[in-house]
Structure 1
Amino acid sequence: MSRVVGYARVSTGEQTFTLQIDALHCHGAAKVYKEVVSGAASDRPQLDEALASLQPGDTLLVWKLDRLGRSIRALIDVMETIKAKGAHLRTVMDGIDTGTTAGRMLYTVLAALAEYERAVIVDRVTAGIAASRRAGKPHGRPSIMTAERTDHARRLLAEGNSWAKVARLNGISKTTLHRAFKRHPERTP
């Protein structure tokens, strides 16, 4: 008897599984494996477990194709694993069912589009950072270690406090403290 095995993934802890899990249960998934990890990540233990549980005739059900991965290589690897198990893939939103010839063709096309979308996002971020640097604007999260805080940390160290204690008092790691000292050289009064 074939089973429907569900897999749900969100990228961050702030996102919720509710929409995906409801859809997977409505489409016959008795068990749903879920995890919080980026689609670009190669280490996804829950996906590995879902794939390992597949038996001949089973279906791996996902909400959308991008839940399985963002690169063509990752998607093809997942698909090869599913095929080797004698199972197939079905998506709720994309209408893919690799149990059919049209579904296998559509899967290939959508996998290429998913990789393209990821590449476009990376290109935009890279271009934005480059433009920011050219304009002399800072990018990324601002450092909490201002010149004044760094000077205060130096005084604490001079008073005999340990690196670990000074870092802890500032709410940072020792590595960040070292970087702050490099970024803000000691000022002479």
Structure 2
Amino acid sequence: MLVGYMRVSKSDGTQTLNLQQDALRLAGVDDRAIYDDLASGRADDRPGLQACLKALRPGDTLVVWKLDRLGRNLRHLINTVQDLAAKDVGLRVLTGHGAAVDTTTAPGKLVFAIFAALAEFERELISERTRAGIAAARARGRSGGRKPKMTAAKVRLAQAAMGKPETKVAALCRELEVSRQTLYRHVGPGGELRKDGRAALERSRG
């Protein structure tokens, strides 16, 4: 059975589903088996797509007008089609750059396998660049991650303030722009240094 899915990016009437619907009909998809969404491709909440995927049965073929109608991005598209394959459901793309994709045929499977390989290659490149960036930062004396909220100056101020009985912890936290938990990880109630506080002072000396 052929099942169709179509999507337009705006629901204000500036885009319509007519073109996609006509193409799906010409491909042999029955109107009763067509699902749609009026939402951005990046939107996670696409009830039409979810209903469509739920309705698919082994041996069915999902038909879309273009590849970008189905996936938010390349990785999401690859994952969706792999999920379809696991359910023994095919994918057929009618037009656009993905028009060669028809996973019910051997050539179509090959084309999609190339897409999947490119997606994996892209992930590896991103991971490699990230590792190289961290290594370069460390070589210049910087470590990755977020900048600590508690600087050495803040730790010293907290030490002095926490040792005074009139200090209100909530007001001190607002002044230092840190949470109560962060404050107590660095300085104890009597102003004594704790592990994270000692580490902050060490970083300032380093």
Whether TM exceeds 0.5 here: the answer is yes
Indicate the TM-score class for this superposition, using the shorter chain for normalisation. Answer: 0.5 to 0.7
Query: Which of the numbers 30, 51, 56 marks the counterpart of 2:36?
Result: 30
Any idea what SS the aligned residue of 1:137 has? coil
**Cα deviations across residues 44-75 of structure 1 (Å, max 9, x unaligned)?**
99776653243534336641768363797x46
Question: How many residues end up aligned between the 2 structures?
Answer: 166
**Cα deviations across residues 65-109 of structure 1 (Å, max 9, x unaligned)?**
68363797x46742424x43x442548543333244322111111
What is residue 59 of structure 1 aligned with on the other side? 63
CA distance in 2, matches of 1:94, 1:107: 9
1:69 corresponds to which letter in structure 2?
R
Task: Give how far 1:115 is off.
Answer: 0.5
Would you say the 8 A contact 1:27–1:92 is kept in 2? Answer: no
What is residue 88 of structure 1 aligned with on the other side? 91
Would you say the 8 A contact 1:65–1:94 is kept in 2? Answer: no
Gap change, CA 1:155 and 1:113, over 3 Å in 2: same
Task: Give how far 1:5 is off.
Answer: 2.7
* 1:118 aligned onto 2:134: no
Task: Give how far 1:30 is off.
Answer: 1.9
Task: Give how far 1:136 is off.
Answer: 1.0
Instruction: Show the 5 A alignment for 1:110-189.
Output: 110-159=115-164, 161-162=168-169, 166-167=172-173, 170-174=176-180, 176-177=182-183, 178=185, 181-185=197-201
What is residue 69 of structure 1 aligned with on the other side? 75
Would you say the 8 A contact 2:134–2:144 is kept in 1? Answer: yes
Any idea what SS the aligned residue of 1:94 has? coil
TM-score scaled by length of structure 2: 0.55
CA distance in 1, matches of 2:172, 2:16: 50
Any idea what SS the aligned residue of 1:69 has? helix
Gap change, CA 1:100 and 1:175, over 3 Å in 2: farther
Gap change, CA 1:45 and 1:36, over 3 Å in 2: closer
Q: Which has the higher contact order (CA 8 A, sep 6+)?
A: 1
Task: Give how far 1:142 is off.
Answer: 2.7
* 1:97 aligned onto 2:102: yes
Would you say the 8 A contact 2:137–2:143 is kept in 1? Answer: yes
Q: Which of 1 and 2 has greater Rg?
A: 2
Gap change, CA 1:36 and 1:122, over 3 Å in 2: farther
**Structure 2 unpaired stretches of 5+:** 22-34, 187-195
What is residue 106 of structure 1 aligned with on the other side? 111
